[in-house]
DNA sequence: CCCAGTTGTTGGAGCGCTCCAAATGGTTTA
DNA sequence: TAAACCATTTGGAGCGCTCCAACAACTGGG
């Protein structure tokens, strides 16, 4: 078993460059007031030794890590990839680096991931699609800025899209196309599901239409099941609005199988504008959330607490927009 | 601007519990030979103070971080989510925690992410879908165990599926179905693309068939473009094997638009068994890579270097399998 | 009843870095 | 020519933890 050699330290660089440890520290941090000659000598020595500052020692001494911890609840959900791009953009611009941690769709994992970040003493924590109860997050948020994205979580900073407005956009669009019998397949207890449902009901009633909602749970199979039940129940709706794209695809599939033409006979709309919706083979009309922008705002909220010392929890609501593709048509 | 209060340290816990700092350390690490009474007293004090060990201080003192750094090249690609599950499973079982970092599909980001992990002094690094040149990775791998997943990278440990075998499975299956005119839409320079192509050519020749390959690049649009060109060129193939699922869906779409029935007129096969392939609306026949297993093996390679001190680079090849869905049929 | 052997507990050194007060040395000013 | 000033440089004291040698308090055997 070979002994892995100890990585070089600041001391090693200092000796090789013939200066003090403190001077090396100054150079590594690009501090001013270091003579050009010394700076060059230190850089040279560092390069020759392949020196790399020890992040642990640095955080310990600085008493801050300059990193933001991001808890990604579901790596399979690409929704968050764009959000992370936005977070990354702003974080980098402010001298922070990102560290991610996954949770496997359970409260417990999520809290464990947060716990790990607290041990690392990250400067702020972002939870994408939180599952854990608000109080738990709020507790964690008491020792470090914490922002939740995608689900409204009391007691902490939140960034979400306006689900009610999204549903409203869908209803208005469908009504404009002449649809009257519109059904909503809801998302059960999933994030934002209830607000999408409420938005649907309100918008329908505002138009004097009957808001028919059938249960679902954000999965393809639930969308298919709901559609199948709907078709069996007699006179089918002329438009179906599913709580997310996956359920919409399930419904779409069921309609096709039953011999209906989409959008000729029935229009179908989803929510989230995932990659699936964009597949030209599917071309699903859906609602887009400005994910990257959500990421930016998330980071802004964190920076706001970090730099301005804001204490009160804030909620930022971004505006969704309709993306028309090929599963919707006038009646 | 409110002053965030300093988190409690081991010293604080020690004072509150009326013991020494060292004893608290022993309790936190679940060391044996600590009396039941003291252990309880320390745990109580720690809980009351909401004490959390400082990971930076710990890594510094232990001279190891007990964490594995995972570089995820493309968060949008869910392929790696399952791999990470496998890595996580083995890592947890061996007392390591995971930390992720994203790279945005460029060499530079990837190397920066690796660099960051080196500064954190992670115990091992895993690169999912490496882009950077082998020498660079090899260099990084000289100071810490490094495993590459998905692309063959000289000089470092690698876990990949047997792409040639995967292509062979496809050809054999299609030939068994009676197909003779089979076209491969390749993946350009993407990971594994060339081996898939080679496997296709070899298998076709073994069957005495003419291996026709058209260029592509792993995207939906390239699949559509290739298919469109193929259709214009006259007598269409009876089967199309695309280098990945996305390209296969592009081809599928183009065929449908052109009025061909899939699988009645033409069979289509993809590669990777992504979530898209599994959508019942698509039901793409494809090749599955045992992703979770790949994750496990990845971690095993890392542990092998960590615990056994292995130095020579090793490549682990896992076996792909055919997943038959509804885009293929006998001719 | 003493010494060896256990089991439990402790202070101190040290991990690699930053920060600070103080030292250095060259220049300018009175 | 001495004093005052400036830009640089430096040693030392931590940051919060682990590890180790040493110590304390018991136990049991001869």
Nearest CA in chain B to A52: B119
- Whether residues A143 and B60 touch (CB distance < 8 A) is answered with no
pLDDT of residue A1: 37
Rounded Cα gap, residues A22 and A111, in angstroms: 39
List pLDDT tens digits, range B269-328: 999 999 999 998 999 999 999 999 999 999 999 999 999 999 999 999 999 999 999 999
B99 plus B148 within the same structural domain: yes
Buried b vs exposed e over B75-110: b needs ≥16 C-beta within 10 Å? bbbbbbbbbbbbbbebbeeeebbbbbbbbbeeeebb
Closest Cα in chain A, distance from residue B319 (Å):
23
Q: Could you tell me if residue A275 is inside a domain?
A: yes
pLDDT-derived band at B4, boundaries 50, 70, 90: low
Residues 48-87 of chain A sitting with CB below 7 angstroms of strand C: 53-54, 57-58, 60-62
Picking from A36, A21, A320, the residue whose alpha carbon sits closest to that of residue A159 is A320
Percentage with pLDDT > 90 across chain A: 83
Closest Cα in chain B, distance from residue A205 (Å):
33
Span B97-115, mean pLDDT?
91
Q: Mean pLDDT lowest for which of B177-191, B197-211, B264-278? A: B177-191
pLDDT of residue A122: 97
Cβ-Cβ pairs closer than 8 A, A with B, add up to: 131
pLDDT of residue A4: 54
All residues at 6 or more sequence positions from B31 whose CB lies less than 8 Å from its CB, including other chains:
none
Rounded Cα gap, residues B74 and B130, in angstroms: 10
Q: Could you tell me if residue A82 is inside a domain?
A: yes
Q: Could you tell me if residue A248 is inside a domain?
A: yes
Looking at the predicted structure, is the pLDDT value of residue B76 above 50?
yes
Q: How many domains does chain B have?
A: 3
B8 contacts B21 by C-beta, under 8 angstroms: no
What SS3 class is residue A187? Answer: coil
- Whether residues B102 and A100 touch (CB distance < 8 A) is answered with yes
Domain extent for B43: 10-53
Write down the H helix ranges in chain B: 10-17, 21-28, 36-49, 55-62, 79-93, 107-120, 134-141, 163-176, 193-206, 220-232, 245-257, 275-278, 291-303
pLDDT of residue A2: 41
Looking at the predicted structure, is the pLDDT value of residue A223 above 60?
yes
Span B217-229, mean pLDDT?
94
Nearest CA in chain A to B62: A56
Span A182-206, mean pLDDT?
93
Rounded Cα gap, residues B36 and B43, in angstroms: 11
What's the mean per-residue pLDDT of chain A? 94
B119 plus B174 within the same structural domain: no
A183 plus A258 within the same structural domain: yes
Q: Cα-Cα-Cα-Cα dihedral of B12, B15, B16, B17, to 10°?
A: 120
Looking at the predicted structure, is the pLDDT value of residue A141 above 90?
no
Looking at the predicted structure, is the pLDDT value of residue B115 above 90?
yes
A47 touches strand C (CB under 7 A): no
B86 plus B138 within the same structural domain: yes
Distances (CA, A) of A183 to A214, A242, B243: 7, 8, 39
B124 plus B175 within the same structural domain: no
Looking at the predicted structure, is the pLDDT value of residue A292 above 50?
yes
Identify the sign of the CA torsion A218, A224, A226, A227: positive
Q: Which protein residues have their Cβ less than 7 angstroms from some atom of strand D?
A: A 19-23, 26, 32-35, 37-38, 57, 60-61, 63; B 6-7, 9-11, 21-22, 25, 28-29, 53-54, 57-58, 60-62
pLDDT of residue B188: 87
Q: Could you tell me if residue B330 is inside a domain?
A: no
Q: How far apart are the first and last CA of chain B?
A: 74
Task: Please tell me the pTM assigned to this model.
Answer: 0.93
- Whether residues B220 and A65 touch (CB distance < 8 A) is answered with no
Q: Measured between beta carbons, which residues in chain A are less than 8 angstroms from residue B112? A: none
Looking at the predicted structure, is the pLDDT value of residue A315 above 90?
yes
pLDDT of residue B3: 46
Distances (CA, A) of B206 to A107, B210, B270, B320, B330: 53, 10, 21, 20, 20
Task: Check which CATH number belongs to the domain holding B271 and give it.
Answer: 3.40.50.2300
Give the distance, in angstroms, between residue B215 CA and nucleotide D21 C1'.
70
For residue A145, report the phi and psi dihedrals to the nearest 5 degrees.
Answer: -55, 135
A242 plus A312 within the same structural domain: no
- Whether residues B55 and A311 touch (CB distance < 8 A) is answered with no
Nearest CA in chain A to B144: A4
Residues 10-49 of chain B sitting with CB below 7 angstroms of strand C: 19-23, 26, 32-35, 37-38
Span B257-272, mean pLDDT?
96
Give the distance, in angstroms, between residue A32 CA and nucleotide D3 C1'.
28
A130 plus A85 within the same structural domain: yes
> Which A residues in the span 184-243 are in contact with B, Cβ-Cβ below 8 Å?
220, 224
Looking at the predicted structure, is the pLDDT value of residue B246 above 50?
yes
Q: Mean pLDDT lowest for which of A64-73, A212-221, B1-10, B153-162? A: B1-10
pLDDT-derived band at A26, boundaries 50, 70, 90: very high
B281: nearest CB among A57, A252, A308:
A252
Q: Could you tell me if residue B226 is inside a domain?
A: yes
pLDDT of residue B34: 93
Closest Cα in chain B, distance from residue A183 (Å):
21
Q: CB count, 10 Å around CB of A175?
A: 18
Task: Check which CATH number belongs to the domain holding B32 and give it.
Answer: 1.10.260.40
Looking at the predicted structure, is the pLDDT value of residue B1 above 50?
no
A38 plus A121 within the same structural domain: no
A99: nearest CB among B101, B118, B143:
B101
Cis peptide before A263 (omega within 30 of 0): yes
Which residue, chain included where needed, has tokens 């995820």? B72
A123 plus A204 within the same structural domain: no
Q: Which nucleotides of D are covered by protein (CB under 7 A)?
A: 7-12, 14-20
Ordered DSSP codes for B86-122: HHHHHHHHTT-EEEEEE--SSHHHHHHHHHHHHHHT-
A208 plus A274 within the same structural domain: yes
A135 plus A228 within the same structural domain: no
Q: Could you tell me if residue A264 is inside a domain?
A: yes
A15 plus A120 within the same structural domain: no
- Dig out the tokens for B229 from the structure: 């060109």
Identify the sign of the CA torsion A56, A59, A61, A63: negative
Which residue, chain included where needed, has tokens 């969308």? A223
> Which B residues in the span 244-283 are in contact with A, Cβ-Cβ below 8 Å?
249-250, 252-253, 256, 275-276, 279-282
Nearest CA in chain A to B255: A281
Picking from A169, A170, A134, the residue whose alpha carbon sits closest to that of residue A154 is A134
pLDDT of residue B23: 96
What SS3 class is residue B192? Answer: coil
pLDDT of residue B48: 96
Q: Could you tell me if residue B31 is inside a domain?
A: yes
Rounded Cα gap, residues A178 and A166, in angstroms: 19
pLDDT of residue B32: 87
> Which B residues in the span 48-107 are in contact with A, Cβ-Cβ below 8 Å?
50, 52-57, 59-60, 65, 72, 75-76, 78, 80-81, 84-85, 88, 97-102, 104
Q: Could you tell me if residue A121 is inside a domain?
A: yes
């Amino acid at each position: 078993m070979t002994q892995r050699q100890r990585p070089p330290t600041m001391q090693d660089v200092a000796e090789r460059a013939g200066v003090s440890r403190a001077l090396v520290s100054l150079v590594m941090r690009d501090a001013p007031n270091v003579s050009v000659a010394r700076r060059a000598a230190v850089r040279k020595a560092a390069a020759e030794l392949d020196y790399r500052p020890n992040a642990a020692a640095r955080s310990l001494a600085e008493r801050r890590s300059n990193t933001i911890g991001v808890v990604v609840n579901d790596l399979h959900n690409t929704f968050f990839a764009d959000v992370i791009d936005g977070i990354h953009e702003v974080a980098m611009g402010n001298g922070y680096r990102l560290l991610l941690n996954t949770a496997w769709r359970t409260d417990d994992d999520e809290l464990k991931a947060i716990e790990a970040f607290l041990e690392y003493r990250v400067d702020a924590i972002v939870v994408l699609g939180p599952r854990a109860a608000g109080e738990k997050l709020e507790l964690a948020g008491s020792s470090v800025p914490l922002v939740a994205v995608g689900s409204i979580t009391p007691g902490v900073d939140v960034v979400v899209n306006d689900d009610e407005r999204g549903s409203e956009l869908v209803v208005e669009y469908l009504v404009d196309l002449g649809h009257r019998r519109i059904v909503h397949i809801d998302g059960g207890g999933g994030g934002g599901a209830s607000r999408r449902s409420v938005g649907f009901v309100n918008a329908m009633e505002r138009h004097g239409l009957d808001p028919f909602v059938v249960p679902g749970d954000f999965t393809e199979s639930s969308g298919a099941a709901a559609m199948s039940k709907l078709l069996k129940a007699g006179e089918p709706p002329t438009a179906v609005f599913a709580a997310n794209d996956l359920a919409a695809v399930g419904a779409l599939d069921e309609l096709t199988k039953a011999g209906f033409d989409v959008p000729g006979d029935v229009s179908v709309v989803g929510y989230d504008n995932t990659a699936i919706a964009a597949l030209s083979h599917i071309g699903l009309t859906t609602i887009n959330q400005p994910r990257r922008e959500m990421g930016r705002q998330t980071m802004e909220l964190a920076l706001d607490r970090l730099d301005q010392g804001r204490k009160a929890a804030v909620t930022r609501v971004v505006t969704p927009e309709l993306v028309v593709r090929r599963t919707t048509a006038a009646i």
